[in-house]
């Protein structure tokens, strides 16, 4: 998931995370998990600010991604 820089600050990312969480809960999932670029501390802070917990960082050859995050999903209302 990515939001264009020209649309940064409009709350679109938070709305996308809420929508994905809702769909995952409807599907009976208990966790929302994602990975991010290892070298992007601003993105890490963004996910932490949205209730995610940093699980670990792994080094994947030929990929910048590898910072792993997760948060629990509430049951659908």
pLDDT digits (tens, 9 = 90+) for 6-23: 998 899 999 999 999 999
pLDDT at 52: 98
* Main-chain phi, psi angles of 33, to 5 degrees: -120, 145
Closest CA to 72 of 36, 32, 45: 32
Domain ranges of the chain: 30-77
pLDDT at 61: 85
pLDDT digits (tens, 9 = 90+) for 8-65: 889 999 999 999 999 999 999 999 999 999 999 999 999 999 999 999 999 988 888 8
Distances (CA, A) of 69 to 6, 10, 22, 77: 25, 23, 18, 24
Confidence band (pLDDT; 50, 70, 90) for 76? low
Closest CA to 34 of 25, 22, 48: 48
């Amino acid at each position: 998931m990515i939001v264009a820089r020209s649309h940064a600050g409009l709350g679109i990312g938070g709305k996308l995370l809420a929508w994905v969480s809702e769909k995952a809960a409807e599907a009976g999932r208990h966790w929302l998990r994602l990975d991010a670029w290892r070298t992007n501390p601003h993105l890490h802070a963004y996910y932490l600010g949205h209730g995610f917990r940093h699980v670990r960082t792994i080094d994947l050859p030929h990929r910048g991604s590898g910072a792993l995050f997760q948060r629990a999903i509430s049951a659908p209302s």
